[in-house]
Amino acid sequence: MSDAQPARPVRPVHPARAVRPVRLGPRSVAALLLISAIGVIAFGWPLLADPASGLARDHAQDAPWLLAVLLPLLVAVVVATIADSGLDAKAVAMLGVLAAVGAALRPLGAGTAGLEPMFFLMVLSGRVLGPGFGFVLGAVTMFASALLTGGVGPWMPFQMLSMGWFTMGAGLLPGAERLRGRLELVMLAAYGCVAAFLYGTVMNLQGWTYIGGMSTGVSFHPGDPLHENLARFLAYCLATSLGWDLGRAALTVVLTLTIGATLLKALRRATRRAAFEAQVTFEGPRH
Q: Compute the half-sphere exposure of residue 88: CA atoms within 13 Å on the CB side of its CA.
A: 10
Ordered by start, the domain boundaries in the chain are: 21-277
Model pLDDT, residue 175: 80
* Euclidean distance between CA atoms 58 and 151, whole angstroms: 21
Model pLDDT, residue 191: 97
Contact 12, 119 (CB under 8 A): no
* Euclidean distance between CA atoms 97 and 187, whole angstroms: 25
Model pLDDT, residue 16: 40
Model pLDDT, residue 88: 64
* Euclidean distance between CA atoms 205 and 255, whole angstroms: 27
CATH numeric code, 21-277: 1.10.1760.20
pLDDT by 10s per residue, the chain, length 287: 445 555 554 444 444 455 666 777 888 888 889 888 988 888 887 777 666 555 555 555 666 777 777 778 888 887 777 777 666 677 788 888 999 999 888 877 655 656 788 999 999 999 998 888 889 899 999 989 888 877 777 788 888 999 999 999 999 998 867 788 899 999 999 999 999 999 999 999 887 877 655 567 788 877 788 888 889 899 999 988 888 899 999 999 999 999 999 999 999 888 777 655 554 444 555 55
Question: Cα Rg for the chain, rounded, in angstroms?
Answer: 22
Model pLDDT, residue 65: 72
Q: How many CB atoms lie within 10 A of CB 71?
A: 15
Model pLDDT, residue 256: 95
* Euclidean distance between CA atoms 188 and 207, whole angstroms: 29
Tell me which DSSP letter residue 279 carries.
P
* Euclidean distance between CA atoms 190 and 50, whole angstroms: 39
Model pLDDT, residue 10: 46
